[in-house]
Structure 1
Amino acid sequence: MESTRCPRCGWPLAELPATAAQPATHRLDYVRCVCGSWLARLDGEVVGATRARLTR
């Protein structure tokens, strides 16, 4: 899984809004991609997504 793009549609994560929550040691946040998939990021790296990759 590439950590800088949405695994479903390939949208660059740098263009998605950041979340306000910042835990003390590690940062786990969830962001909604433009394709509708929820992405779980741990310290800025995508570790999971709610929808499967699009096939083309």
Structure 2
Amino acid sequence: MNPTRCPRCGWPLAELPASAARPVSHRLDYVRCLCGSWLTRLDGEVVGATRPSR
């Protein structure tokens, strides 16, 4: 899994709007990709993803 791109669609996370992030702690956050998938980041690296909504 590439830690800088969405594992579902390949979109670069650096290009997502800042409003897409939902911080949980200083190490963990959730980011909503443009494809609809929620990504879990730990220390800035993607560690998990949901499937996009249909």
User: Aligned with 1:14: secondary structure?
Assistant: helix
CA RMSD of aligned residues (A): 2.1
More strand by share: 2
Verify: 1:51 aligned to 2:44, yes or no: no
Q: Which residue of 1 aligns with 2:23?
A: 21
More helix by share: 2
Q: CA deviation at 1:21?
A: 3.3
Structure 2 unaligned spans of 5+ = none
- Name the CA distance, whole Å, in 2 between partners of 1:29 and 1:3: 13
Distance change (3 Å), C-alpha of 1:22 and 1:2: same
User: Aligned with 1:46: secondary structure?
Assistant: strand
User: Which has the higher Rg, Structure 1 or Structure 2?
Assistant: 1
- Identity across the alignment (%): 78
Structure 1 unaligned spans of 5+ = none
Write the letter of the residue equivalent to 2:15: E
Q: CA deviation at 1:27?
A: 1.0
Alignment TM-score, normalising by the size of structure 1:
0.75
- Name the CA distance, whole Å, in 2 between partners of 1:45 and 1:9: 16
Alignment TM-score, normalising by the size of structure 2:
0.77
- Name the CA distance, whole Å, in 2 between partners of 1:20 and 1:46: 14
